[in-house]
Structure 1
């Protein structure tokens, strides 16, 4: 294993552009990225990784020899398996993207919290000169795959379809079938250019806490998520569910005084406690943080954190069996909510509400909740098609019109990305759905 200090270099978006150009020049797979708050770093970039469809149980699997420990001078992350797992319910016969995809890397580039870049590898090879140059000398890419930038023509969801779903959820709450459920809808679109350029714009302009990017021959996933689904470091598991939202223009203090938002968050915290408790040491589950107001792109959120100690022998696969899909995007009780949501929602979720992240034999595992996530694929004619899911938790106090506005608020920072760019190649157009 090896770690080298590279020094101060480009911003994450520029380094990604340089890595993409390097991969294209060398005819190797594209880079992948984790940006925001991952593994104690500001970013973890994979210079090149082949991300392919795999069985769901293998997405975040590690080699059979298990965790690796390093000395003080060894890498902090080194490498590992990076991938995504789609939401598991109501799977279409021909999903737009694979239900699960991942790839193994033995090399990462880590940006520490002080702004210094590091080369880390599970092997012994020194950092290649061209890779160091991509980090230290990264400049706006004038040619190559990101020169075309990106554009998306968005079509909004059908408002009345979402309203019907919310009203049916409210009926179920009144009947005692569920206490809360997350009713979702989706924007669809046509895209051109480069999904990696979209992601680079997204992280540079909105700085989400749990952003992630992967691509393969199947398409691309650009997740601008603010939410931690689960982390595992040593034997400590953590989950930080988000429930409760206000637009950025509102007074954030309103979240803590909102009966609806507080109830929504507390119910999901209890659900997370139950999920983690299935694989935790008895008595170890605790709420470390409750109802904290935090900013996210375009909105304010209520965030809580639940921690627990995993039982001996529990693997990442066991944790996923216990807790996936994430509590914050399902409802209470979880199994009944999941069943009913398949009847209330007008479209399938795909990667949205699944998870994207990485597991490392050195650093452990960190997975996001795949919200604020754009899926890029192609239709049968080869045209670029994409989707952006949005939704919100419904409680007895919910109002359908307010819930619709919350969906628009959550999508706004992504839909506006094209408006912040200049020129015809940077568009992200759509109207508020009213039909």
Structure 2
């Protein structure tokens, strides 16, 4: 079943929110007009259904190689683009792998698109009172470490080379979450900072990682792998770590292969390898992989090639998805999927790491890391906690 709806004229645009990946020049002017939603239980091909919705509403995503350009792209009432979200489970289905454990946020669709037009600029206003209760983890430190050890055994057997393990935590909340979600979206280094909201739910993203971008005749991905505290000692340790570099290069090779599978793409190259960048209080290693577009490329082909992202699955991707489904007790929900923007002239989807969700009662967050043969279980548990800490602090204010 396809769920499409039209927002009424009085739909309250959240005053402190901007959709993830939306053009900065349009900030404060986005007005939702129509939306699309798809759940795993609906059946059908979500990539094709999403593409049909976007095309029917004026976005030329059947061939992203040939963007459309409006004579007055920023005029009031014109189509700006669409915020697009694909869950980790939907991405796994697109890749032909298992969807994993059930999502802890079943009220949030697995694929969402919200179309936005340009309106008059609005002045941001603050949200109301908000407080977060005690966090409940999906697994204990001991259980997380045991899963890391289990993945290492699978690597020793030759079943897989690398697996990304992710844990979930949730907490009750009271009050208006708007300002707290805006704080998450505004964390330093959040290339895809923004909030996407629906009926009774919202997703706040602080992701620094580009899953896929199509712009100016090139397709680009920027995998991130490798984390240390944002100190001089942490930077040196990251640069000197043979384990982190091997883990990173393995994912770069996987992403090169993902792009090479696309039709209408020229030679794939690594533009930048293992560059150290900062996200909040952490150093992270990022590479840039790209290829020229030489022919037609449709959005469904793009999504099937890159979803779910290699840096949050592992290598080989399908074998890693099997390990993930076997070890993670709670589904990845809105995290580790795709979240970003599809405009008339470009596609820019971030990987939904550093991402939280709220439903009517609880706030949900996820964090994890890549496991290789050289992984230390305790260190991997600590790394996941370090990634979660800025998100929880932002929510708490």
List alignment gaps of at least 5 residues for structure 1.
1-22, 108-126, 379-383, 422-435
Is 1:385 matched up with 2:362?
A: yes
Superposed CA offset, 1:88-138 (max 9, x none): 22253882421111211222xxxxxxxxxxxxxxxxxxx5xxx33x24xx4
Give the equivalent residue in structure 2 for 1:353: 336
Give the equivalent residue in structure 2 for 1:228: 210
Is 1:409 matched up with 2:390?
A: no
Any conservation in 1 of the 2:33–2:117 contact (CA below 8 Å)? Answer: no
Once the two structures are TM-superposed, the CA of residue 292 in structure 1 deviates from its matched residue by: 0.1
Which residue, out of 100, 111, 119, partners 1:100?
Answer: 111
The 5-angstrom pairing of residues 261-410 of structure 1 reads: 261-281=244-264, 283-310=266-293, 312-362=295-345, 364-378=346-360, 384-410=361-387
For residue 231 of structure 1, give the secondary structure of its aligned residue in structure 2. strand
Instruction: Find the aligned partners of 2:24 and 2:35 in 1 and give their Cα distance.
Output: 24
Q: 1:341 to 1:175 in 2, by over 3 A?
A: same
The 5-angstrom pairing of residues 212-251 of structure 1 reads: 212-249=194-231, 250-251=233-234
Give the equivalent residue in structure 2 for 1:4: none
Is 1:33 matched up with 2:13?
A: no
The alignment's C-alpha RMSD in Å is: 2.7
Once the two structures are TM-superposed, the CA of residue 194 in structure 1 deviates from its matched residue by: 2.7
Is 1:63 matched up with 2:55?
A: yes
Q: 1:207 to 1:179 in 2, by over 3 A?
A: closer
Instruction: Find the aligned partners of 1:329 and 1:200 in 2 and give their Cα distance.
Output: 25
Give the equivalent residue in structure 2 for 1:176: 158
Once the two structures are TM-superposed, the CA of residue 63 in structure 1 deviates from its matched residue by: 2.0
List alignment gaps of at least 5 residues for structure 2.
1-6, 40-45, 61-66, 90-98
Any conservation in 2 of the 1:185–1:345 contact (CA below 8 Å)? Answer: yes
Superposed CA offset, 1:359-392 (max 9, x none): 0113x110111111111113xxxxx122211110
Is 1:193 matched up with 2:175?
A: yes
Q: 1:59 to 1:389 in 2, by over 3 A?
A: farther
For residue 351 of structure 1, give the secondary structure of its aligned residue in structure 2. coil
Once the two structures are TM-superposed, the CA of residue 311 in structure 1 deviates from its matched residue by: 5.0
Instruction: Find the aligned partners of 1:234 and 1:296 in 2 and give their Cα distance.
Output: 27
Runs of 4+ aligned residues of structure 1 deviating over 4 Å after TM superposition are 37-45, 49-52, 280-283
Pair member with larger Rg: 1
Any conservation in 1 of the 2:86–2:339 contact (CA below 8 Å)? Answer: yes
